[in-house]
Structure 1
Amino acid sequence: MARKDSLTGKGPLSGNKRSHALNATRRKWNLNLQKVRVMDEKGTMITLKVSARTLRTLKKNEKIV
C-alpha cells in the first residue's frame, strides 16, 4: 500500500535537499501515518491509516473512538 492518507488522499511531498554549498539532491517528505479505528455510520469499526494532522482533526471533531 502506498504511503497515502486514506481519508484525505494526501501523499508524500518532494523537493530538494540543500547542502551548505547549495548543492541540490532530490528528497521526499513522507507522511506521519498512524493506524486508527473509526466507527462508520452503521456502527462497524474500520481501521484506517491517517496522517497525524488528520488524526488531530478527528479528535477535535470527536469522530475517533
Structure 2
Amino acid sequence: MSRKCEITGKSVLSGNKRSHAMNASRRKWNVNLQTVKVEIDGQVKKVKMSTRALRTLKRKRI
C-alpha cells in the first residue's frame, strides 16, 4: 500500500536535508495518514486519508 491519501491524492514529498555546512542528502516528508471509517454510498469503509482531508470533512460535516 502506497503512502497516499485516497481522498485527495496527497503523497510523499522529497527534497534535501541540509546540514549546518550546507551538505545535501536526500530525505522524505511523509503524509500524516490516518485509517478512518467513512460512509461511502451507504456502506462503511475503512479509508486511509490525510489529517488535512479529515479536518476538512469534519468542518463541512460530511
How far apart are residue 33 of structure 1 and its match? Answer: 0.3
How far apart are residue 49 of structure 1 and its match? Answer: 0.2
Query: What stretches of structure 1 of length at least 5 have no aligned partner?
Result: none
The question of 1:45 aligning with 2:29 is answered no
- The aligned counterpart of 1:32 is 32
Alignment TM-score, normalising by the size of structure 1:
0.90
CA distance in 2, matches of 1:36, 1:62: 15
- The aligned counterpart of 1:16 is 16
Alignment TM-score, normalising by the size of structure 2:
0.94
- The aligned counterpart of 1:58 is 57
Identify the structure with the greater strand proportion: 2
Q: How many residues align?
A: 62
How far apart are residue 10 of structure 1 and its match? Answer: 1.0
CA distance in 2, matches of 1:7, 1:38: 11
CA distance in 1, matches of 2:60, 2:37: 15
The sequence identity of aligned pairs, in percent, is 58
Query: What stretches of structure 2 of length at least 5 have no aligned partner?
Result: none
